Structure formats: C-alpha cells, structure tokens
Amino acid sequence: MQNVLKRFGVKDTGSFDEHFHNSLWKLTLLYTVVLATILLISSGVIYGAFSQKLGRRYGDFRIIPTDRPGVALIQTPPISQQEVQEELIYSLILVNGVLLLVAGAASYGLAHITLKPIKDSYDRQRRFFADASHELRTPLSILKIDLENEIADTEISSAARTVARGYLEEVDRMSTLVSNLLTLSRIHDERTITHSDFKSTNLSAVVREVSERLQPLAKEHNVVMSLTEEKNDIMLFSDEQLLSSSLENVIKNAILYNKPHGTVQINTSLDINKATIEIIDSGIGIAPKDFSHIFERFYRTDKSRSRSTGGSGLGLPIVRSSLEQLGGEVYIKSTLEKGTTVTLELPL
C-alpha cells in the first residue's frame, strides 16, 4: 500500500482570510504586470522614435569655409548623441518608476475593491454560523434532557423507547456539529484568541484527561487505547481549550475509524524546543485520493460510516486551525487498511 505523508501547520493556506489576502496580492500583481507591460512597450516606442530623431538630427554637420584656401571647418553639435540618449534613458526610468509605484498602489486599491464584496459576504456568513450555533445550543440541550427522561421512563413501550433513542442520537449528532461550528468560529475570530491570552499549560495533564474521557467510547467500539508519557509533566505556554479540542478530535477519529479489537496508542515526548503528541491507530486508513481533502470542512472520506459515527467533517479542520493558532504543526501519515499516525507538534 502507498504511504502518504502530508504536513499542515502555520504555513498552510486553509483559512478564508489567508486565501483572501493571497488573492488580493495576486490581483495586485496581475494589475501591476499589465501596467508594467504597457509602460515597457510605451518606453520602447518612445526610445526608438527619439533615437531615430536624434540620429537624423546629429548625423548632420555643417561645413564652414575659411579665408585659407582649401581649408574648411566642420561644426558638430555641442552635445553628443550618446549623452542625449543616456539622459533619455534616465528620464524614462525615473518617470516609469514613479508611474509603476502609482500603478501598484492603484492596483492594490482596485483589487481590494474587487474582493471586498466577497470578504463582506464571508464575514456575514461566519457571523451567521456563530450566532445560529449559539442559539441552537439551548433548544438542543432541552431536547436532549427530554429524550433522556423519556428513555428512562419505565412506563413507555419498547417501540417508543427505540424511537426516542434514535431521536437522541440525532440530537447528539446535531449538538456535536453545533459545538464544532462554535469552536471554528472562535478560532477564526482574531479578537477572541490572542497570544496574550495564552497561559502556562500542563500538556501531560490535558492528554491524560482527554484519553480518560474517551475511554468509554473506546470500550464501546472494542478498541484498546493506551498512553505512554514522559517521566515529567510537559509544560508549555498555550491555550488549554484549543489543545483539548484538538486532541479529542484526533483521538475520537482514531477510535471511530478503527477496526474491531483495534488499538490506539498515544505517545507524548519532549524535545529541546517543542512537545510532540503522536496518535497511532490500527484503523481503516486514508485513501490517497482523499488525502488532499481531509482538512476541508465537511469533507468525509467514508460518508456512510461517518453518518453512523456522527461525523460531520469538521474534526480535522478544527485540529488544523487550532494548531495554526497555537503556532504548532500537524503531520499525518496513513496507509489504507493498515492505520493512521497523526503527529502534533507544539512550541514550548
């Protein structure tokens, strides 16, 4: 089977803002190149015409007769043709250089005007997702409590209890989707997360807490999960909530997309300037054709299985975005039907 290794981190262009700025500069460069080409052609035409004119003008000379027999004076222009041509070149460079700077500034402004409606539309969409997700949390919580109470009621029939369990699964799936949307909204809102908000975080404790929280899920799917840690706790300057969310999404994927009686191994290690978390599973792996899309929002490699496991296609985008905010990187190596290894690297 083919091994696939791909690196995602702070240099990845996954977010809309980064794509927007890249497009903005590309349009600016395009406009500038067009204007520069026009200036170059204009300069060439002017230079050619002016050179021909100078050649005709300074190619002529005057013969002035004298009083001495057989002797005449040849009068040439006081300024040489080469000197005039050099002055022309310097003038063209200066004028066109200034025009090119003006054209670049104008191009940037035009590109910004061109892309501003797209940026505004995206900002409105992002605010809508954040507001809608926030408003949905309360009714979903109420529905969940009501359904749990109905399932616990001993007086209802088995058929009604089965229907209620189905509804509860849908509510749980929707709650997960809403929670993921809120997390993405928080990550992409630069006003919410800043490096000044980071604090000293016990990475080892976060890994232990997440792995313990997901142990029941692993047992439910007949997956054995184990943890290997450094002797001493790993401390770093980070955001604990983003760390926990990233780890939970990676480990949950390792469990849900595993095989019966499979394994999930979690390793933590410490280097000179970084901490590393490695999650190794013996699951179904990722097909090479899907690998380039796994960090796209709502993309699911196995839609039928994702439906049964409650997957929304937002887990790995959250991981990537979280690592970008934390200044870290994520590596994924996968072999189809043999398993996947996800490596998270975080600066100390």
- At residue 192, the pLDDT reads 52
- At residue 5, the pLDDT reads 41
Q: Tell the residue number behind the tokens 């901490």, with chain if given.
A: 275
Q: How far apart are the first and last CA of the chain?
A: 36
Question: Which of 74 and 150 is assigned the larger pLDDT?
Answer: 150
What is the bridge-based pairing of β-strands 329-335 and 72-75? unpaired
Tokens found for residue 227 = 């943890």
Question: Which of 346 and 173 is assigned the larger pLDDT?
Answer: 346
Q: Does 7 score more than 70 pLDDT?
A: no
pLDDT digits (tens, 9 = 90+) for 252-308: 989 988 988 999 999 999 888 899 999 999 988 888 888 777 877 766 666 555 555
Q: Where are the alpha helices (DSSP H) in 153-239?
A: 158-188, 203-213, 215-220
- At residue 292, the pLDDT reads 78
CATH superfamily of 197-348: Histidine kinase-like ATPase, C-terminal domain (3.30.565.10)
Question: Which of 272 and 309 is assigned the larger pLDDT?
Answer: 272
Euclidean distance between CA atoms 140 and 134, whole angstroms:
11
Q: Say whether 248 sits in a helix, a strand or coil.
A: helix
In this structure, of 10-14, 52-56, 61-65, 89-93, the range with the lowest mean pLDDT score is 10-14
pLDDT digits (tens, 9 = 90+) for 135-152: 777 788 888 888 888 888
Counting residues of the chain whose pLDDT is more than 70, the rounded percentage is 71
Q: Does 55 score more than 50 pLDDT?
A: yes
pLDDT tier for residue 9 given thresholds of 50, 70 and 90: very low
Q: Taking phi first (over 0 means left), then psi (-120 to 50 degrees means alpha), and beta for anything else, what does residue 72 get?
A: beta
Residue 181 exposed, middle or buried by CB count within 10 Å (0-12, 13-18, 19+):
buried
As a whole number, the mean pLDDT across the chain is 77
Question: Which of 55 and 190 is assigned the larger pLDDT?
Answer: 55
Tokens found for residue 92 = 């063209």
- SS3 letters across 253-285: HHHHCCCCCCEEEEEEEECCCEEEEEEEECCCC
Question: Which of 147 and 77 is assigned the larger pLDDT?
Answer: 147
Distance of CA 179 to the CA centre of its chain: 21
pLDDT tier for residue 72 given thresholds of 50, 70 and 90: low
pLDDT digits (tens, 9 = 90+) for 179-231: 777 776 666 665 455 566 688 889 999 999 999 999 999 999 999 999 998 88
Beta-bridge partners for 264: 225, 281
Q: Which residues contact 184 (CB under 8 A, 6 or more apart)?
A: 129, 297, 314, 317, 318, 321
- At residue 207, the pLDDT reads 94
- At residue 106, the pLDDT reads 77
Tokens found for residue 279 = 């999650």
- At residue 210, the pLDDT reads 93
- At residue 3, the pLDDT reads 42
- At residue 10, the pLDDT reads 36
Tokens found for residue 96 = 């066109």
Q: Tell the residue number behind the tokens 């000197």, with chain if given.
A: 83
CA distances from 249 to 4, 10, 139 (A): 20, 19, 24
Beta-bridge partners for 235: 202
Euclidean distance between CA atoms 89 and 16, whole angstroms:
44
In this structure, of 170-174, 265-269, 344-348, the range with the lowest mean pLDDT score is 170-174
pTM for the model:
0.57
- At residue 262, the pLDDT reads 93
